[in-house]
């Protein structure tokens, strides 16, 4: 956040606020009466390094920390559900006899690429381009479950494949 994006109100001695000056005499931290910083810039408590210091610990946890931790725990669990993947050939790519396959949702997209190479009888050195819904190429470390949740179509994930680059 830049300093010009939001004006900093002048501190009031009656309100119990203290203004401390950072490098060069510019305001760097406005501290309220209870001692928690309400504005911090890159010049505060960093001795000119250009990196802002973390706010001092006040002994209480952020209200979102419990919800964040529980969301992370849910994300860490492996979802045993299976995702249906529909493969579609593009251009001169060989057609598959069976286009529908199931894969567990916690697998990475790299597993889909390796499976597709094996099914098509391709070497690791052969070029293979994969796309989701004819629009973008996912990163190999993307979760199949996340791709399905975001881009699933009619109950399955459409994976287009080709031997040459098809879409930018």
Same domain, 49 and 90: no
CATH of the domain at 97: 3.10.20.90
Q: What is the pLDDT of residue 65?
A: 80
Distance CA 163, CA 160 (A): 11
Q: What is the pLDDT of residues 110-148, one digit of tens each?
A: 999 999 999 999 999 999 999 999 999 999 999 999 999
Tell me, what's the pLDDT at 75?
A: 67
Residue 113 lies in a domain: yes
Task: Tell me, yes or no, whether 144 lies in a domain.
Answer: yes
For residue 30, give Cα distances in angstroms to 38, 61, 148, 150: 6, 21, 46, 42
Q: How far apart are CA 89 and CA 68, in angstroms?
A: 41
Q: The pTM is what?
A: 0.55
Flag whether 87 is in a domain: yes
Asked, for residue 104, whether it belongs to a domain, the answer is: yes
pLDDT digits (tens, 9 = 90+) for 2-58: 444 444 444 444 444 334 444 444 444 444 444 444 444 444 444 555 555 555 555
Contact 51, 44 (CB under 8 A): no
- Shared domain for 33 and 98, answered yes or no, is no
Domain that holds residue 110: 82-162
- Looking at the structure of the chain, the number of domains it has is 2
């Amino acid at each position: 956040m830049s300093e010009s994006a939001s004006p900093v109100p002048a501190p009031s001695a009656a309100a119990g606020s203290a203004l401390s000056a950072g490098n060069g005499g510019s305001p760097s931290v406005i501290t309220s009466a209870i001692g928690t910083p309400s504005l911090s810039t890159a010049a505060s408590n960093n001795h000119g390094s250009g990196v802002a210091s973390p706010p001092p610990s006040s002994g209480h946890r952020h209200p979102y920390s419990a919800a964040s931790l529980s969301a992370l725990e849910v994300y860490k669990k492996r979802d045993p559900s299976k995702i249906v993947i529909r493969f579609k050939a593009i251009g001169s790519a060989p057609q598959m006899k069976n286009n529908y396959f199931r894969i567990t949702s916690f697998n990475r997209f790299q597993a889909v690429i390796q499976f597709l190479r094996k099914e098509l009888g391709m070497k690791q050195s052969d070029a293979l381009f994969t796309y989701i819904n004819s629009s973008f190429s996912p990163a190999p470390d993307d979760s199949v479950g996340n791709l399905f949740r975001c881009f699933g179509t009619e109950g399955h994930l459409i994976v287009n494949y080709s031997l040459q680059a098809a879409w930018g």
